[in-house]
Structure 1
Protein backbone atom coordinates (compact mmCIF):
# COMPACT_ATOMS: atom_id res chain seq x y z
CA UNK A 1 0.00 0.00 0.00
CA UNK A 2 1.37 3.40 -0.94
CA UNK A 3 1.39 6.30 1.53
CA UNK A 4 -0.96 9.23 1.06
CA UNK A 5 0.52 11.78 -1.32
CA UNK A 6 1.21 15.24 0.14
CA UNK A 7 0.59 18.51 -1.62
CA UNK A 8 3.43 19.23 -4.02
CA UNK A 9 4.85 22.71 -4.53
CA UNK A 10 8.20 23.91 -5.97
CA UNK A 11 9.46 24.10 -2.38
CA UNK A 12 8.12 20.66 -1.48
CA UNK A 13 9.82 18.11 -3.79
CA UNK A 14 9.16 14.42 -3.51
CA UNK A 15 11.40 11.40 -3.14
CA UNK A 16 10.74 7.90 -4.42
CA UNK A 17 12.24 5.17 -2.21
CA UNK A 18 12.57 1.84 -4.02
CA UNK A 19 13.43 -1.10 -1.76
CA UNK A 20 11.79 -4.48 -1.22
CA UNK A 21 12.30 -4.37 2.55
CA UNK A 22 9.47 -2.55 4.31
CA UNK A 23 11.69 -1.82 7.32
CA UNK A 24 14.20 0.00 5.13
CA UNK A 25 11.52 2.08 3.41
CA UNK A 26 9.78 2.96 6.66
CA UNK A 27 13.01 3.65 8.50
CA UNK A 28 14.44 5.81 5.74
CA UNK A 29 11.20 7.80 5.41
CA UNK A 30 11.16 8.38 9.17
CA UNK A 31 14.84 9.32 9.21
CA UNK A 32 14.33 11.84 6.41
CA UNK A 33 11.35 13.32 8.25
CA UNK A 34 13.34 13.67 11.47
CA UNK A 35 16.27 15.32 9.70
CA UNK A 36 13.91 17.78 8.00
CA UNK A 37 12.33 18.81 11.31
CA UNK A 38 11.69 22.54 11.34
CA UNK A 39 12.14 22.79 7.57
CA UNK A 40 10.08 21.99 4.48
CA UNK A 41 9.84 18.20 4.53
CA UNK A 42 9.98 16.34 1.21
CA UNK A 43 7.06 13.99 0.68
CA UNK A 44 8.02 10.41 -0.06
CA UNK A 45 6.56 7.72 -2.29
CA UNK A 46 7.53 4.06 -1.88
CA UNK A 47 7.91 1.10 -4.21
CA UNK A 48 8.96 -2.47 -3.45
CA UNK A 49 9.60 -3.56 -7.06
CA UNK A 50 11.09 -2.04 -10.18
CA UNK A 51 7.73 -2.29 -11.95
CA UNK A 52 6.09 -0.23 -9.18
CA UNK A 53 8.92 2.30 -9.35
CA UNK A 54 8.58 2.73 -13.11
CA UNK A 55 4.82 3.15 -12.80
CA UNK A 56 5.15 5.74 -10.03
CA UNK A 57 7.82 7.68 -11.87
CA UNK A 58 5.75 7.68 -15.07
CA UNK A 59 2.86 9.24 -13.15
CA UNK A 60 4.84 11.64 -10.95
CA UNK A 61 8.02 12.47 -12.84
CA UNK A 62 7.18 16.19 -12.96
CA UNK A 63 7.28 16.42 -9.17
CA UNK A 64 9.84 13.79 -8.20
CA UNK A 65 13.20 15.29 -7.29
CA UNK A 66 15.08 12.04 -6.65
CA UNK A 67 14.76 8.26 -6.80
CA UNK A 68 16.62 6.24 -4.16
CA UNK A 69 16.99 2.86 -5.88
CA UNK A 70 18.07 -0.40 -4.24
CA UNK A 71 19.99 -2.71 -6.60
CA UNK A 72 18.37 -5.93 -5.38
CA UNK A 73 14.65 -6.11 -6.06
CA UNK A 74 12.28 -9.03 -6.72
CA UNK A 75 12.15 -8.15 -10.44
CA UNK A 76 15.65 -6.73 -10.94
CA UNK A 77 19.12 -7.62 -9.75
CA UNK A 78 22.39 -5.70 -9.80
CA UNK A 79 22.51 -2.90 -12.34
CA UNK A 80 19.68 -4.31 -14.46
CA UNK A 81 17.05 -2.27 -12.61
CA UNK A 82 19.04 0.95 -13.00
CA UNK A 83 19.53 0.25 -16.72
CA UNK A 84 15.83 -0.48 -17.28
CA UNK A 85 14.75 2.64 -15.44
CA UNK A 86 17.16 4.90 -17.31
CA UNK A 87 16.35 3.28 -20.65
CA UNK A 88 12.70 4.19 -20.09
CA UNK A 89 13.46 7.59 -18.53
CA UNK A 90 16.97 8.76 -19.51
CA UNK A 91 16.70 11.97 -17.46
CA UNK A 92 15.40 10.33 -14.29
CA UNK A 93 17.33 11.54 -11.19
CA UNK A 94 18.46 8.25 -9.68
CA UNK A 95 20.76 7.68 -6.71
CA UNK A 96 21.67 4.07 -6.05
CA UNK A 97 21.12 2.87 -2.48
CA UNK A 98 23.16 -0.29 -1.95
CA UNK A 99 24.56 -2.51 0.75
CA UNK A 100 27.39 -3.52 -1.61
CA UNK A 101 30.57 -1.48 -1.14
CA UNK A 102 32.35 -2.94 -4.20
CA UNK A 103 34.26 -0.04 -5.87
CA UNK A 104 33.80 -1.63 -9.31
CA UNK A 105 30.02 -1.79 -8.85
CA UNK A 106 29.97 1.83 -7.71
CA UNK A 107 31.96 2.90 -10.78
CA UNK A 108 29.66 0.94 -13.11
CA UNK A 109 26.54 2.44 -11.51
CA UNK A 110 27.84 5.97 -12.02
CA UNK A 111 28.89 5.18 -15.58
CA UNK A 112 25.41 3.80 -16.24
CA UNK A 113 23.87 7.11 -15.20
CA UNK A 114 23.30 7.07 -11.44
CA UNK A 115 23.85 10.49 -9.91
CA UNK A 116 25.25 9.01 -6.70
CA UNK A 117 26.08 5.68 -5.09
CA UNK A 118 25.04 5.72 -1.45
CA UNK A 119 25.73 3.00 1.16
CA UNK A 120 22.74 1.33 2.79
CA UNK A 121 24.31 0.66 6.15
CA UNK A 122 24.75 2.07 9.64
CA UNK A 123 23.25 5.49 10.23
CA UNK A 124 22.91 6.35 6.51
CA UNK A 125 24.89 9.53 7.11
CA UNK A 126 25.95 9.67 3.46
CA UNK A 127 22.32 9.52 2.35
CA UNK A 128 21.32 12.41 4.59
CA UNK A 129 24.39 14.42 3.55
CA UNK A 130 23.56 13.86 -0.11
CA UNK A 131 19.89 14.82 0.31
CA UNK A 132 20.90 17.96 2.16
CA UNK A 133 23.43 18.85 -0.55
CA UNK A 134 20.64 18.51 -3.14
CA UNK A 135 18.53 21.01 -1.21
CA UNK A 136 16.01 18.38 -0.10
CA UNK A 137 16.58 18.88 3.63
CA UNK A 138 17.15 21.87 5.86
CA UNK A 139 20.41 22.74 7.56
CA UNK A 140 21.65 20.38 10.29
CA UNK A 141 21.11 21.28 13.91
CA UNK A 142 24.12 22.98 15.47
CA UNK A 143 25.40 20.94 18.38
CA UNK A 144 28.55 19.24 19.53
CA UNK A 145 28.98 15.52 20.05
CA UNK A 146 28.17 14.06 23.42
CA UNK A 147 30.11 10.87 24.18
CA UNK A 148 28.55 7.82 25.80
CA UNK A 149 25.16 6.24 25.45
CA UNK A 150 22.62 8.14 27.49
CA UNK A 151 24.26 11.02 29.29
CA UNK A 152 22.16 14.12 30.03
CA UNK A 153 22.20 16.90 27.47
CA UNK A 154 23.18 20.47 28.17
CA UNK A 155 20.86 23.30 27.13
CA UNK A 156 23.23 24.13 24.31
CA UNK A 157 22.89 20.68 22.81
CA UNK A 158 19.22 19.82 23.28
CA UNK A 159 18.76 19.50 19.49
CA UNK A 160 20.95 16.41 19.19
CA UNK A 161 22.90 13.70 20.96
CA UNK A 162 25.85 11.63 19.78
CA UNK A 163 25.46 7.97 20.78
CA UNK A 164 28.35 5.52 20.73
CA UNK A 165 27.82 1.79 20.15
CA UNK A 166 29.81 -1.00 21.79
CA UNK A 167 32.03 -1.29 18.70
CA UNK A 168 32.82 2.43 18.66
CA UNK A 169 30.38 3.60 15.96
CA UNK A 170 29.02 7.08 16.65
CA UNK A 171 25.47 7.97 15.61
CA UNK A 172 23.90 11.43 15.82
CA UNK A 173 20.31 11.48 17.06
CA UNK A 174 17.79 14.27 17.31
CA UNK A 175 16.42 15.06 20.76
CA UNK A 176 13.23 13.08 20.01
CA UNK A 177 15.18 10.10 18.65
CA UNK A 178 17.36 10.09 21.77
CA UNK A 179 14.23 10.01 23.96
CA UNK A 180 12.86 7.11 21.94
CA UNK A 181 16.15 5.25 22.23
CA UNK A 182 16.21 5.66 26.02
CA UNK A 183 12.69 4.21 26.28
CA UNK A 184 13.52 1.33 23.93
CA UNK A 185 16.64 0.52 25.96
CA UNK A 186 14.49 0.55 29.09
CA UNK A 187 12.39 -2.20 27.52
CA UNK A 188 9.20 -0.19 27.11
CA UNK A 189 6.78 -1.33 24.35
CA UNK A 190 5.43 1.06 21.71
CA UNK A 191 2.12 1.46 23.57
CA UNK A 192 3.78 2.70 26.76
CA UNK A 193 6.15 4.95 24.82
CA UNK A 194 3.19 6.44 22.97
CA UNK A 195 1.46 7.24 26.26
CA UNK A 196 4.57 8.84 27.74
CA UNK A 197 5.39 10.86 24.62
CA UNK A 198 1.75 11.76 23.87
CA UNK A 199 2.08 10.29 20.38
CA UNK A 200 0.19 7.67 18.40
CA UNK A 201 1.52 4.12 18.38
CA UNK A 202 2.02 4.46 14.62
CA UNK A 203 4.28 7.47 15.09
CA UNK A 204 6.28 5.63 17.74
CA UNK A 205 6.63 2.64 15.40
CA UNK A 206 8.02 4.98 12.73
CA UNK A 207 10.55 6.41 15.18
CA UNK A 208 11.66 2.95 16.32
CA UNK A 209 11.99 1.77 12.71
CA UNK A 210 14.19 4.78 11.95
CA UNK A 211 16.41 3.93 14.94
CA UNK A 212 16.81 0.33 13.77
CA UNK A 213 17.81 1.54 10.33
CA UNK A 214 20.25 4.13 11.66
CA UNK A 215 22.07 1.53 13.75
CA UNK A 216 21.97 -1.11 11.01
CA UNK A 217 19.93 -3.67 12.98
CA UNK A 218 16.62 -5.45 12.37
CA UNK A 219 15.10 -5.78 15.84
CA UNK A 220 14.91 -4.15 19.25
CA UNK A 221 16.93 -7.02 20.71
CA UNK A 222 19.76 -6.42 18.23
CA UNK A 223 19.65 -2.69 18.98
CA UNK A 224 19.93 -3.25 22.72
CA UNK A 225 22.76 -5.74 22.22
CA UNK A 226 24.64 -3.27 20.02
CA UNK A 227 24.43 -0.51 22.60
CA UNK A 228 24.87 -2.37 25.90
Structure 2
Protein backbone atom coordinates (compact mmCIF):
# COMPACT_ATOMS: atom_id res chain seq x y z
CA UNK A 1 0.00 0.00 0.00
CA UNK A 2 1.43 3.37 -1.07
CA UNK A 3 0.65 6.15 1.40
CA UNK A 4 0.24 9.68 0.07
CA UNK A 5 0.05 13.13 1.64
CA UNK A 6 -1.77 15.66 -0.56
CA UNK A 7 -0.54 19.27 -0.31
CA UNK A 8 -2.53 22.00 -2.06
CA UNK A 9 -4.10 25.25 -0.91
CA UNK A 10 -7.22 24.70 -3.04
CA UNK A 11 -9.92 22.50 -1.53
CA UNK A 12 -11.30 21.29 -4.85
CA UNK A 13 -7.84 20.23 -6.03
CA UNK A 14 -7.28 18.23 -2.84
CA UNK A 15 -10.71 16.65 -3.12
CA UNK A 16 -10.11 15.66 -6.74
CA UNK A 17 -6.73 14.10 -5.95
CA UNK A 18 -8.16 12.26 -2.94
CA UNK A 19 -11.04 10.79 -4.94
CA UNK A 20 -8.64 9.64 -7.66
CA UNK A 21 -6.09 8.08 -5.33
CA UNK A 22 -8.51 6.43 -2.92
CA UNK A 23 -10.12 4.71 -5.89
CA UNK A 24 -6.83 2.83 -6.38
CA UNK A 25 -6.59 -0.49 -4.54
CA UNK A 26 -2.93 0.08 -3.67
CA UNK A 27 -3.07 3.69 -2.45
CA UNK A 28 -4.09 5.34 0.79
CA UNK A 29 -4.33 9.11 1.36
CA UNK A 30 -3.12 9.51 4.93
CA UNK A 31 -3.76 13.25 5.27
CA UNK A 32 -4.05 16.61 3.51
CA UNK A 33 -2.13 19.87 4.02
CA UNK A 34 -2.95 23.37 2.81
CA UNK A 35 0.53 24.93 2.87
CA UNK A 36 4.22 24.13 3.11
CA UNK A 37 4.47 24.40 6.89
CA UNK A 38 1.69 21.88 7.36
CA UNK A 39 3.30 19.63 4.75
CA UNK A 40 6.61 19.56 6.60
CA UNK A 41 4.97 18.88 9.96
CA UNK A 42 2.59 16.19 8.70
CA UNK A 43 5.32 14.49 6.69
CA UNK A 44 7.44 14.22 9.84
CA UNK A 45 4.47 12.83 11.78
CA UNK A 46 3.03 10.44 9.21
CA UNK A 47 6.04 9.53 7.04
CA UNK A 48 4.04 8.97 3.83
CA UNK A 49 5.69 7.23 0.90
CA UNK A 50 4.89 10.14 -1.42
CA UNK A 51 4.11 13.80 -0.82
CA UNK A 52 2.06 15.20 -3.70
CA UNK A 53 3.23 18.80 -3.46
CA UNK A 54 1.73 21.93 -4.99
CA UNK A 55 4.38 24.60 -5.62
CA UNK A 56 2.59 27.91 -5.30
CA UNK A 57 0.95 28.30 -1.90
CA UNK A 58 0.65 31.14 0.62
CA UNK A 59 3.19 31.19 3.42
CA UNK A 60 5.83 28.52 2.95
CA UNK A 61 5.71 27.44 -0.69
CA UNK A 62 6.23 23.96 -2.07
CA UNK A 63 9.90 24.55 -2.88
CA UNK A 64 10.93 25.35 0.66
CA UNK A 65 8.70 22.57 2.01
CA UNK A 66 10.34 20.11 -0.40
CA UNK A 67 13.80 21.23 0.68
CA UNK A 68 12.99 20.75 4.37
CA UNK A 69 11.39 17.35 3.81
CA UNK A 70 14.36 16.08 1.80
CA UNK A 71 16.95 17.53 4.21
CA UNK A 72 15.23 15.79 7.12
CA UNK A 73 16.53 12.51 5.72
CA UNK A 74 13.20 10.75 6.01
CA UNK A 75 11.80 8.11 3.71
CA UNK A 76 9.17 10.32 2.08
CA UNK A 77 9.68 11.32 -1.54
CA UNK A 78 8.21 14.43 -3.12
CA UNK A 79 6.34 14.68 -6.42
CA UNK A 80 5.65 18.31 -7.24
CA UNK A 81 2.79 19.68 -9.30
CA UNK A 82 2.98 22.66 -11.61
CA UNK A 83 0.82 24.41 -14.18
CA UNK A 84 3.43 24.78 -16.92
CA UNK A 85 6.04 22.23 -18.01
CA UNK A 86 8.84 24.82 -17.99
CA UNK A 87 7.79 26.65 -14.88
CA UNK A 88 10.94 27.95 -13.15
CA UNK A 89 9.44 26.87 -9.84
CA UNK A 90 9.44 23.27 -11.03
CA UNK A 91 13.17 23.53 -11.73
CA UNK A 92 13.84 24.97 -8.28
CA UNK A 93 11.78 22.19 -6.71
CA UNK A 94 13.96 19.60 -8.45
CA UNK A 95 17.07 21.31 -7.11
CA UNK A 96 15.47 21.21 -3.67
CA UNK A 97 15.29 17.43 -3.91
CA UNK A 98 11.95 16.56 -5.49
CA UNK A 99 11.86 13.24 -7.33
CA UNK A 100 10.02 14.72 -10.30
CA UNK A 101 7.08 16.78 -11.37
CA UNK A 102 3.76 16.49 -13.11
CA UNK A 103 1.50 18.98 -14.79
CA UNK A 104 -1.79 19.61 -13.03
CA UNK A 105 -3.63 18.81 -16.25
CA UNK A 106 -1.98 15.38 -16.58
CA UNK A 107 -4.30 12.47 -17.23
CA UNK A 108 -5.42 10.70 -14.03
CA UNK A 109 -3.79 7.43 -15.08
CA UNK A 110 -0.48 9.24 -15.72
CA UNK A 111 -0.51 10.76 -12.24
CA UNK A 112 -1.27 7.40 -10.62
CA UNK A 113 1.58 5.73 -12.51
CA UNK A 114 3.87 8.62 -11.56
CA UNK A 115 3.09 8.27 -7.86
CA UNK A 116 3.78 4.54 -8.01
CA UNK A 117 7.08 5.20 -9.78
CA UNK A 118 8.20 7.76 -7.19
CA UNK A 119 7.21 5.43 -4.35
CA UNK A 120 9.35 2.73 -5.97
CA UNK A 121 12.37 5.04 -6.06
CA UNK A 122 12.20 6.19 -9.66
CA UNK A 123 11.90 9.69 -11.11
CA UNK A 124 8.95 10.72 -13.25
CA UNK A 125 10.43 13.26 -15.63
CA UNK A 126 11.22 12.10 -19.13
CA UNK A 127 14.85 12.67 -20.23
CA UNK A 128 13.73 15.20 -22.85
CA UNK A 129 11.81 17.32 -20.34
CA UNK A 130 14.69 17.13 -17.87
CA UNK A 131 17.03 18.50 -20.50
CA UNK A 132 14.63 21.29 -21.48
CA UNK A 133 14.23 22.32 -17.86
CA UNK A 134 17.95 22.58 -17.26
CA UNK A 135 18.68 24.22 -20.62
CA UNK A 136 15.99 26.83 -20.03
CA UNK A 137 17.27 27.85 -16.61
CA UNK A 138 21.03 27.65 -17.18
CA UNK A 139 21.50 31.10 -15.68
CA UNK A 140 20.64 29.57 -12.32
CA UNK A 141 23.45 27.03 -12.43
CA UNK A 142 26.27 27.79 -9.94
CA UNK A 143 29.74 28.77 -11.07
CA UNK A 144 32.43 26.31 -10.03
CA UNK A 145 32.32 23.19 -7.90
CA UNK A 146 32.18 22.88 -4.16
CA UNK A 147 34.74 20.75 -2.34
CA UNK A 148 32.05 18.14 -1.66
CA UNK A 149 31.09 18.02 -5.33
CA UNK A 150 34.75 17.65 -6.33
CA UNK A 151 35.10 14.72 -3.96
CA UNK A 152 31.99 12.97 -5.26
CA UNK A 153 32.98 13.53 -8.88
CA UNK A 154 36.48 12.19 -8.20
CA UNK A 155 34.93 8.97 -6.90
CA UNK A 156 33.50 8.11 -10.31
CA UNK A 157 35.38 5.95 -12.77
CA UNK A 158 35.93 7.20 -16.30
CA UNK A 159 33.16 4.92 -17.60
CA UNK A 160 30.76 6.12 -14.88
CA UNK A 161 31.47 9.71 -15.90
CA UNK A 162 30.66 8.81 -19.49
CA UNK A 163 27.38 7.20 -18.46
CA UNK A 164 26.43 10.12 -16.22
CA UNK A 165 27.20 12.62 -19.00
CA UNK A 166 25.07 10.61 -21.42
CA UNK A 167 22.16 10.44 -18.98
CA UNK A 168 22.42 14.19 -18.36
CA UNK A 169 22.35 14.81 -22.10
CA UNK A 170 18.89 13.28 -22.14
CA UNK A 171 19.52 9.72 -23.28
CA UNK A 172 17.50 6.79 -21.98
CA UNK A 173 19.29 3.66 -20.69
CA UNK A 174 18.72 1.97 -24.05
CA UNK A 175 20.23 4.93 -25.90
CA UNK A 176 23.21 5.05 -23.54
CA UNK A 177 23.77 1.34 -24.09
CA UNK A 178 23.70 1.77 -27.86
CA UNK A 179 25.99 4.81 -27.92
CA UNK A 180 28.57 3.39 -25.50
CA UNK A 181 28.32 -0.19 -26.85
CA UNK A 182 27.17 -1.64 -23.54
CA UNK A 183 24.40 -4.00 -22.49
CA UNK A 184 21.38 -2.16 -21.10
CA UNK A 185 21.69 -4.13 -17.86
CA UNK A 186 25.27 -2.87 -17.56
CA UNK A 187 24.07 0.71 -17.98
CA UNK A 188 21.50 0.19 -15.23
CA UNK A 189 24.24 -1.13 -12.94
CA UNK A 190 26.42 1.87 -13.73
CA UNK A 191 23.54 4.26 -12.98
CA UNK A 192 22.88 2.57 -9.63
CA UNK A 193 26.54 2.88 -8.64
CA UNK A 194 26.65 6.51 -9.79
CA UNK A 195 23.63 7.39 -7.65
CA UNK A 196 25.27 5.79 -4.61
CA UNK A 197 28.63 7.49 -5.16
CA UNK A 198 27.32 11.02 -5.69
CA UNK A 199 24.60 10.74 -3.05
CA UNK A 200 21.73 11.27 -5.49
CA UNK A 201 18.31 9.94 -4.59
CA UNK A 202 17.32 9.33 -8.21
CA UNK A 203 18.13 9.95 -11.87
CA UNK A 204 16.83 13.53 -11.83
CA UNK A 205 19.18 14.51 -8.99
CA UNK A 206 22.06 12.85 -10.85
CA UNK A 207 21.34 14.97 -13.92
CA UNK A 208 21.33 18.17 -11.87
CA UNK A 209 24.63 17.11 -10.26
CA UNK A 210 26.19 16.58 -13.71
CA UNK A 211 25.25 20.10 -14.76
CA UNK A 212 26.26 21.63 -11.43
CA UNK A 213 29.80 20.24 -11.65
CA UNK A 214 30.20 21.07 -15.32
CA UNK A 215 30.43 17.49 -16.52
CA UNK A 216 28.04 18.53 -19.27
CA UNK A 217 27.09 21.94 -20.57
CA UNK A 218 23.64 23.13 -21.69
CA UNK A 219 23.14 23.28 -25.44
TM-score tier, shorter chain, comes to 0.3 to 0.5
Using CA pairs below 8 Å that are at least 6 residues apart, which structure has the higher relative contact order? Answer: 1
* Structure with the higher helix share, 1 or 2: 2
* Structure with the higher strand share, 1 or 2: 1
**Structure-2-length-normalised TM-score:** 0.47
**Structure-1-length-normalised TM-score:** 0.46
